Amino acid sequence: MKRIENIAETYQHLQTEICSSLENADGKGKFSHDNWEKEIGGGVTAVLQNGVIIEKGAVNFSFVKGKFSSRMEKLLCEKAENYAATGVSSILHPENPWMPIIHMNVRYFALDNGISWFGGGIDLTPHIIEPENTAEFHTALKTTCDQFDSRFYPEFKEWADDYYFLPHRNETRGVGGIFFDRLKYDSQEEFEKLFNFTVALSQLYPVIYTSFMKKHSNRPYSEREKNWQALRRGRYVEFNLMHDRGTKFGLESGGNTESILASLPAGAAWEYNYSPQPGGFEEKTLSLLKKGIDWINPKNNP
């Protein structure tokens, strides 16, 4: 149990660092901090609303433990009596439609049967896809992954393409990133490698987004871009409520509902039988919402 307590302490410190970086980059918005406690444990929900650049953002930390229910057994395909879990997760919804939505999560899960693992990732959901920005994002992820294992980026990139997918729409949620789950270890060396990897991703997260904030937050936009942003946010809501594992597990385990649903945007829209303007940025974005795109080396794409 000492191990997960140390991990939780590190993750909570990372939450503080991320909030500070984002506040400095926004220049106006400040994170409110809601310390919550329930029977299963507690955490800190940090939410920024109505900033100059970030319309709504959340950086959440939690450390919970309790009985491993039959529903949890079905969700995780494991047998145990008790569990403990800790993690930090964040999502940012910008005011400017030319800025992307970004999501990050790292977590550690332990069962009393001796099985434990790491999970997490970072993914990007631009309202308007611009390949050069996406290439920059994926290059940053690959560089960090390669510092730990050259297999990580290609494997976790494919995993993200498959995970962040809306089957009922036959489209990806955005341009992917990396996603991993159930990364188990059988030595102290492997444990430290995976733990340090999750820390490195958490530290990379604000670096990536503050770079986007500096470059794109002042770009002019019209009502057309805002309307499109609302529709893309609607897709984001669909994924989070219908397919996201963290949302499902958090609600099933009796977690803090406000924290779990802090990932949703302040506003979203759905339009019946929407059809994009031919040749517009809307049509181009929809054409790129598919799996298997090599964003770093576009010459490799068919």
Which pair of structure tokens corresponds to residue 7? 């991990």
Return the residue matching tokens 């395909």: 77
Q: 210: part of which helix (H) or strand (E)?
A: helix 188-216
Which of 33, 93, 103, 168 is catalytic? The answer is 103
Residue 80 · residue 193 · CB < 8 Å: no
216 as an active site residue: the answer is no
CA–CA distances in Å: residue 141 to residues 99, 107, 126, 204, 293: 18, 18, 16, 8, 15
DSSP 3-state assignment of 215? helix
Q: How many residues does the chain have?
A: 302
Measured distance CA(173)–CA(290) in Å, rounded: 9
Which residues are catalytically annotated?
103
